[in-house]
Structure 1
Amino acid sequence: MQDEFERLKWLRGEIEAANQQYYLLDQPAMSDADFDALMRELLELEAKHPDWVTPDSPTVRVGGEVAKEYSKVRHLEPLLSLDNAFSAEDLREFDRRVRQVASAVEYVAELKIDGLTVALTYEDGLMVRGATRGDGEVGEDITANVKTVKSIPLRLKDEVPRLTVRGEGYMPKASFARLNQEREEEGLSTFANPRNAAAGSLRQLNSQITAQRKLDYFAYQVLGAKELGLHNQAQVLTYLKQQGFVVNPEYRVLATIEEVAEFCAQMAAERHQLPYDIDGLVIKVNDFALQEELGFTAKSPRWAIAYKFPAEQVETVVEEITVRVGRTGVLTPTAILRPVLVAGSTVSRATLHNLDNIRDKDIRIGDHVLLHKAGDVIPEVVRVLPEKRSGEERIFEMPEVCPECQSPVRQDEGEVAYRCQSITCPARQREGVIHFVSRDAMAIDGLGPAVIQQLLDAGLIADAADLYSLTFEELVPLERMGKKSAENLLQAIQASKSRGLGPLLFALGIRHTGEKAGKILAQRFGTMDKLMAASLEELQGIPDIGPTMAENLVYFFSLESTRRFIDKLRAAEVDMTADASLKPQVLAGKSIVVTGSLERWDRREIEKIIEDHGGKAASSVSKKTAYVVAGEKAGSKLSKARELGVQVLTEEEFESLLKQEVQQS
């Protein structure tokens, strides 16, 4: 037990040190794979010993807490807005007002990150609360979400009794581009800019979603700084770094307002090279004593001002609108533009997202439009210039058949996206094959994206089913393949044939049918043929298979292209029956909470049993909870279960219930 506890402490130390090397020093100390391995081991140890979990454990960063709503937080000091400056002359006017109070002035110029202001509270060095700005007086408690941001320290270097830090939560440009691409492929609405994306992510009710969004944080202010012996803003930024925060490195301490204006002009020119979005700079009087002397107006401090960059929009012409087909079959209209320089690069294309967006903005082929880059990354048509229309502009219509394979295009009810319905569409092939061979699907090791692209380019496969007809002679000539690699790959392909119906259903990429649904369907029908023959009503009657998933299943299996694909798998002798080891899904649709110390299983084992039988191992008790399994020293969750009238089971009662349910099924 002592050895495990020491190992747990060591793991936490290594993970936090790696986080600081990566986020604070920008010097990665280990590979992503090594980091993930340490995190998995820590999760397993904490699952085995839940009483060892602490609020500052790195595992809280994976998220998982779901809030019904956010409670309100009153800020210790108001978060005031700043007056704006839009030119060098505005900055000089600000300087003149400051020099009416003091002749000698030093300024700190910091980049104005385009994100969401977040206030952090630490007690005895431990982070206890994160809150939004709100109206400046009262914000929202987003502590669970804030803990998922890896650049925010969960524990300070020093055990300061109480510390409130303010900074900006933001989404890096790369994360923003990746998120919008994923949402577009799923037919979801995209975010307008990184600020919009960051705000939406930090205000998610499910902190696990926030964790997936890859947010970051720059700290810039400490409340009560003078009590810590800090006398100016430059000292605050140094102190924040010492305590483990990431401070934006592009700040400057400047002696004159002319130097400030020059720095603002420099950053306006260089902003597009930064990995995050900025919309200006914040100029502050450095000395805190002078800040106090200058004071505040009703709405803003007299010792600071925000220099705002002018919006960069350029005019161009929509010469054509084409359609791109993504991995999930979503048809995305793209504007082909007259090439134009914007935000540091030449742009000739811009995604129009979907038909609704085109209609809302009334974008027509031949229109003169204003263009900008959302987040300095994604070219976006801001609006049309209708006064420049000649009458020859053309209204765009979404094609009725896929431009890649001529299969039917369909718009599902309640969605903005139009989709190609063919699983063999060439535009969907590469990503479809990548998904088919992935670990939770058919698990074919050695088939990475580069090899798959080679197979497609060489005409050796047209879809994932063709993998099963590959030969040694065909594989060996491929780049970086070799005899041993070819042999290993063929063995992996052969082994995947026995994966069973559940993983195969997930591998097919049927919309809304994930890994868990694949297991449920495999257990319910047993064979592919029985599932393909199932009616809509039959599918809708299965727990956890909702109306939308059922409709997609019926439609998917009605397609001739689907049947041809499955026939090819059958000819290759791919197993299409339920895995004998698959447990009956007798807990499907039931949420079960485990609390206290167990004797028969450790926490991870019993949660796996719940999930293997189709249930959900939940972390909190609610009216929707089916059972609470309680061990020794069960605490607040047991009390909450009794308060709500949720059935409480011992370990023995849970095991008996499971056996009884299996026998009845």
Structure 2
Amino acid sequence: MPTPSAKQRILELRELIRYHNYRYYVLDDPEISDAEYDRLMEELRRLEEAHPELITPDSPTQTVGSSILETPFTPLPHPTRMYSLANAFSREDLADFEASIARMLGREGPFEYALEYKIDGLSINLVYEGGVLVRGLTRGDGVVGEEVTPNLLSIPDIPRKLPEPLDLEVRGEVYLPIETFLRLNAELEEAGEAPFKNPRNAAAGSLRQKDPKVSARRGLRGLFYGVGRHEGLAVRTQLELLGRLGELGFSVEPHHRRALGVEGVEEGYRAMLEHRRSLPFEADGVTVKLNDLSLWEELGYTAKTPRFAIAYKFPAEEKPTRVLRVVFQVGRTGRVTPVAELEPVLLDGSTVSRVTLHNESYVQELGLRVGDTVLVHKAGGVIPEVLRVLTEASRGEHPVEWPSHCPECGSGLVLSGKIHLCPNPLCPAKAFEAIRHFASRRAMDIQGLGEKLIEQLLEAGLVRDAADLYQLKKEDLVGLERMGERSAQNLLEQIEASKGRGLERLLYALGIPQVGESTARALARRFGHLDRILEASVEELDAVPDIAEATAQAIHQALAQPQMRRFVERLRAAGVNFEAKEKPQSRALEGLTFVLTGELSRPREEVARLLEAHGAKVAGSVSRKTHYVVAGPGAGSKLARAQELGVPVLDEEGLKALLQERVGVEAW
């Protein structure tokens, strides 16, 4: 009979794991590391093995992932079920795995295995009919997933059409490359938004965007390793299958290998662990699969996992260390970020002595004090992160004190949402990054003004901020390192050309908190001139599509700063153009939301720009707030969703008629 304590612990673990499944699979916002989650699952699995009479069908050990709750995506069943892998953490676990195979097959090993990196991404299922991709689903609970086909089509590793007319389900992982993850998090932090916790979290959040254009910009990639339904795909082994998927146009991770028995798996695992840090993606283990596919059918599945495969997890390095002090650094936009200085600790091959604490609310959630002992790891295997305060260890005595003034220039800090900002555009800490951003390709695009040259200009006292660039003369530049007469002239011509880039780029170049490229374009389209934005109220800014009230307040507050007003006037005096290049032609469609789907006679981007030029909003998914769906030949799930919700559907002729009625015949 189970003891009351064992039964109680099983119930506690199930409730806790279900909660973390919800955070991980549904919200894409995990609260604990993968290693901590694995420990909870392993404890539950061992308790249930010891007390099999307590196992229930809804236990997390018997189910996959988390149920699909209310989301913007349509839940659809998988043609064949998707499973998750059981975990191995040691050589003993591997030996038990091979022994169970031998027992079920009635013959002795060693067996031949295929080893592959276990990519830490988001599992997907691609359904092809006659060689054509008809839909793509997230794993969901293994039986039902979310249809995210438009978002998946933005990933270059996913073929829309196969070279052969096959009926297939292809399984793989969507992931965010580590370099892309680091860049995305830096952009989010500078914009005052919460960074993603790890590359898997970032991949899930990027794939499950309502607007496929956002997914496309995130730089997602895919790797593929398996099939569900696979009529006509004649392969005998897992390694043959990987080769066949490559022939069909799918990206396949190249470091797979053959292994014989537990000894061979252990040897391959050690080699792959050694190579792990050179991968462009995050891998959290090695998948160990019987290579002979005929044995898969013979062994079958449990309620949750295949009996022919297991995931041999990489060890997660999490180490305790002490917080010596908390300092504050100032970023390009003036964002003040707390950084914990730690007693140095060796973690995943490098010494960690500093870790960002993101913002004040993050520090409060941790309950962190100076002198605390904390548990640290590398998020995504890359970024040092504090997991939690070890309250069972000795606690620090001093709370983290947030400065009221900028630690670099002394200006009073302002609060925007959860972030503290230095409003002074001349703050020394901001100068280099502010000028580099102002001159960057997507901002004012001043070619030839690289980082080393910016450093020289600042050190020589030739510029204090970006407005000073427009006062530079050839004699100022000639004589700087690698700057001759011709180079100086070319740079001055680039600076002069930047004056005409238009309001869209200028707004982005100013480095206003929470104003990225899309927000800058939306503001430029609505107001047409910088002066009108400077005069706009919070309510008028909030009325711009896709600008929330908090963002409107942050923009209004930043532009009202005296230092920003003086900076803008210096740009005006230098002759910088404050007018939008993409001026709004009318507001005839203001308040209307359109969704475009299927093939149109003109590129959809062009049609979207036309609609936006007359005040409309173009969204990526259909909801009850959609006013019209414009559907061409080949329209799929969006058309079905519109019909389900009763949203009016226009063909191209219907759109032309609407434009003629609202805007005038010349619009098309």
When normalised by structure 1's length, the TM-score is 0.78
The separation in 1 between residues aligned to 2:389 and 2:444, in whole angstroms, is 48
1:354 to 335, 356, 359: 359
1:200 to 191, 198, 205: 205
CA 474–133 in structure 1, closer or farther in 2 if over 3 Å, else same? same
CA 535–296 in structure 1, closer or farther in 2 if over 3 Å, else same? closer
For the pair 1:73 / 2:76, whether they are aligned, the reply is: yes
The separation in 2 between residues aligned to 1:655 and 1:500, in whole angstroms, is 30
CA 476–231 in structure 1, closer or farther in 2 if over 3 Å, else same? same
The separation in 1 between residues aligned to 2:533 and 2:296, in whole angstroms, is 72
Equivalent residues in 2 for 1:506-525 (5 A)?
A: 506-512=508-514, 514-520=519-525, 522-523=527-528
CA 612–443 in structure 1, closer or farther in 2 if over 3 Å, else same? farther
CA contact (8 A) 1:119 1:166 kept: yes
The separation in 1 between residues aligned to 2:215 and 2:160, in whole angstroms, is 16
CA contact (8 A) 2:210 2:621 kept: no
For the pair 1:151 / 2:154, whether they are aligned, the reply is: no
Once the two structures are superposed, residues 135-155 of structure 1 have per-residue CA deviations (whole angstroms, 9 ceiling, x without a partner) of: 122212121122122112222
SS of 2:392's equivalent in the other structure is helix
Deviation of 1:237 after TM superposition, in Å, equals 1.2
2:173 to 168, 172, 175: 168
> Which residue number in structure 2 is paired with residue 319 of structure 1?
324
Equivalent residues in 2 for 1:225-624 (5 A)?
A: 227-389=232-394, 393-412=397-416, 415-438=417-440, 442-497=444-499, 504-512=506-514, 514-520=519-525, 522-523=527-528, 528=531, 532=534, 536=538, 547-574=549-576, 578=579, 582-583=583-584, 585-587=586-588, 588-591=590-593, 608-616=609-617
> Which residue number in structure 2 is paired with residue 32 of structure 1?
none
Give % identity.
45
Deviation of 1:572 after TM superposition, in Å, equals 3.2
CA contact (8 A) 2:406 2:413 kept: yes
CA contact (8 A) 2:631 2:649 kept: no
Once the two structures are superposed, residues 244-283 of structure 1 have per-residue CA deviations (whole angstroms, 9 ceiling, x without a partner) of: 1122222221122111122223333442332221222221
CA 229–314 in structure 1, closer or farther in 2 if over 3 Å, else same? same
Deviation of 1:564 after TM superposition, in Å, equals 2.6
Once the two structures are superposed, residues 545-599 of structure 1 have per-residue CA deviations (whole angstroms, 9 ceiling, x without a partner) of: 76445533442343221233234334435455x4799455534554467899999
CA 606–499 in structure 1, closer or farther in 2 if over 3 Å, else same? same
CA contact (8 A) 2:598 2:635 kept: yes
For the pair 1:127 / 2:133, whether they are aligned, the reply is: yes
> Which residue number in structure 2 is paired with residue 62 of structure 1?
none
The separation in 2 between residues aligned to 1:426 and 1:92, in whole angstroms, is 61
The separation in 2 between residues aligned to 1:510 and 1:290, in whole angstroms, is 60
CA 146–344 in structure 1, closer or farther in 2 if over 3 Å, else same? same
Deviation of 1:88 after TM superposition, in Å, equals 0.5
> Which residue number in structure 1 is paired with residue 12 of structure 2?
none
CA 617–129 in structure 1, closer or farther in 2 if over 3 Å, else same? closer
The unaligned stretches of length 5 or more in structure 2 are 1-69
Once the two structures are superposed, residues 197-243 of structure 1 have per-residue CA deviations (whole angstroms, 9 ceiling, x without a partner) of: 22222222222222222222221112355853211212111111111
> Which residue number in structure 2 is paired with residue 185 of structure 1?
190
CA 348–517 in structure 1, closer or farther in 2 if over 3 Å, else same? same
Deviation of 1:477 after TM superposition, in Å, equals 2.2
The separation in 2 between residues aligned to 1:632 and 1:316, in whole angstroms, is 60
CA 619–527 in structure 1, closer or farther in 2 if over 3 Å, else same? closer
SS of 1:230's equivalent in the other structure is coil
The unaligned stretches of length 5 or more in structure 1 are 1-66
Amino acid at match of 1:473: E
Deviation of 1:399 after TM superposition, in Å, equals 1.2
The separation in 2 between residues aligned to 1:151 and 1:239, in whole angstroms, is 15
Which moved further from structure 2: 324-333 or 424-433? 424-433
Amino acid at match of 2:183: R
CA contact (8 A) 1:631 1:651 kept: no
Deviation of 1:316 after TM superposition, in Å, equals 1.6
> Which residue number in structure 2 is paired with residue 140 of structure 1?
146
Amino acid at match of 1:403: P
The separation in 2 between residues aligned to 1:469 and 1:256, in whole angstroms, is 72
Once the two structures are superposed, residues 180-202 of structure 1 have per-residue CA deviations (whole angstroms, 9 ceiling, x without a partner) of: 22211122122222222222222
Cα RMSD of the aligned pairs, angstroms, is 3.8
Count of equivalent residues? 587
